Homo-oligomer: A and B are copies of this chain.
Amino acid sequence: MATTLAKSHLDILNEALEAGQLQQVRRLLNVSLKPADVAHLLESSPPRERSVLWSLVDQENEGEVLQYLSDDLQETFLSEMNAEELVAALEHIDIDDIADMLQNLPSTLTAEVLRSMDQQDRERLEQVLSYPEDTAGGLMNTDTITVRPDISVDTVLRYLRRHDEIPSMTDSIFVVSRKDAFIGVLPLAKILVSDPEMMVREVMDTDAITISADTPDTEVAKLFERHDLVSAPVVDPESKLLLGRITIDDVVDVIREDAEHSMMSMAGLDDDEDTFAPALKTTKRRAVWLGINLITAFIASAVIGIFEATIQQVVALAVLMPIVASMGGIAGSQALTLIIRGQALGQVERSNAGWLLNRELIVGSLNGILWAIVIGIAAILWFEDTTIGIVIGAAIVINLIAAALAGTLLPVLLKAWNIDPALAGSVILTTITDVVGFMSFLGLATLFYA
């Protein structure tokens, strides 16, 4: 049914908007569509349509829609709300999602929201807010169902039946001591197949993965991926008290952001960048990246400038020099991308980086020799000049080896220095392959043609 869901909704919506049928749009947004779909429509709309759509979302649905929006867009909408609207919107939202949103708000608004909550919720929210957004503590929710180990499965069944509803994404409840220390996990599936006479202590799983509240969110994502978890208990790093739980829906967001982060950063974009951000905001953000890359370009130009006299003598050098720089850039970015992905997956450590460097050097040398021959022959045929073929061939080999070195070592070194390799890596790599490329090609030419 749902394959072309969003597309057709987008079209229906656009038609209704254009025809001015706002009542129909309102019904679509508040009755027919789920909050996640509304959020997707908002993210897929240019600013003007977006504010019209948002104004048509009923206040009681705003909170649910907000939690599915990217940070960038959440911030835009939240910043336009006053404290009262905010409190109303957040009324039915999970603690962890409220915490997520509050992290982007001025503290006066945060205080207002906290004041509006009952004491238990406030304490829970304050606890979640006390952890950084990108740790297990910031990701957790506090809607755990807990039982004691010394009751029977039948008692658990009766206890659960007293609930109107079990929180979504609950595949297990947690077993805790009288003092709330975490003891084990009791999967719902286990409850259902166990003899009701048995004690919780006998059927619970004490070997389950527990997550310390200070674990970085990317590590949490790896644990969920590797151990096929739906939910996992979060415990205090020291006391081992049960603090809350993390559910796969929030982890999926981390996995997607994590995986997108590298690609977006390599282009100098924020991973949470709003696709439909207004022109002026986009211009400013992009300008910064262009400025940084301009420095790289000027450094490359300065290198070329050293060899002005040689170029004047042999203009073919100017014609061919971009080939040397470009082949180095491509080869380097292949190594760089592979290592950055390996780092993101937790595969590349210091202990195996040496093997990778060695492999990349072999690959760089082999491809260097292969393409040196191809490009060298092409250059000789083009300019009817053997010297230029030898010079460009040698420069290609040198630059592809430099590219292998830089592409492998840069991400490892940058990570060790706590600099994001995806963000800084490609700029520095280009600088290196440009400089080495122009320097070796024009430098060798200067020697050969002198």
Contacts and interface: CB of A to CB of B under 8 A. Distances in A.
Interface of A: 1-3, 5-7, 10-11, 14, 34, 36-37, 40, 43-46, 68, 157, 160-161, 163-166, 168-171, 188-189, 191-195, 209-212, 215-216, 219, 222-228, 230, 248-249, 252-253, 255-256, 259-260, 262-264, 266-269, 273, 275-276, 278-280, 282-283, 286-287, 289-291, 293-294, 296-298, 300-301, 304-305, 308, 311-312, 315-323, 325-327, 330-331, 333-334, 336-339, 341-342, 345-349, 351-352, 355-356, 359, 362-363, 366-367, 370-371, 374-375, 378, 430, 434
A1 B189 contact: no
Nearest to A317: B318
B283 A333 contact: no
Contact of A318 (B37, B157, B318): B318
A5 B189 CA distance: 28
17 contacts: A1-B212, A3-B215, A10-B351, A10-B352, A43-B347, A68-B226, A160-B193, A228-B249, A263-B337, A264-B341, A268-B334, A283-B362, A283-B367, A290-B327, A300-B326, A304-B319, A318-B318
B267 A337 contact: yes
A444 B398 CA distance: 34
Given A2-B219, A192-B188, A323-B297, A331 B252 contact: no
Given A212-B3, A338-B269, A367-B286, A323 B301 contact: yes
Nearest to A332: B267
Contacts of A260: 259, 341
Contact of A252 (B46, B255, B352): B255
Given A45-B352, A338-B269, A322 B319 contact: no
Contact of A351 (B3, B14, B322, B374): B14
B298 A378 contact: yes
Contacts of A228: 36, 168-169, 249
A189 B215 contact: no
Contacts of A315: 308, 311-312, 318
So how many copies of this chain end up in the complex? 2
Nearest to A159: B192
Contacts of A301: 319-320, 322-323
A7 B349 contact: yes
Given A193-B166, A352-B44, A326 B289 contact: no
Nearest to A266: B263
A380 to B, nearest CB: 14
A219 B40 CA distance: 14
A374 B298 CA distance: 12
**Which of A224, A319, A320 is packed against the most chain B CB atoms within 10 Å?**
A319
Contact of A36 (B226, B317, B331): B226
A273 B334 CA distance: 11
Contacts of A263: 259, 262-263, 266, 337, 341
Given A3-B215, A319-B305, A327-B290, A333 B256 contact: no
Contacts of A195: 161
Nearest to A224: B252
B46 A286 contact: no
Contacts of A293: 326-327, 330
A276 B192 contact: no
B252 A2 contact: no
A355 B46 contact: yes
A311 B226 CA distance: 58
Contact of A37 (B168, B226, B262, B269): B226
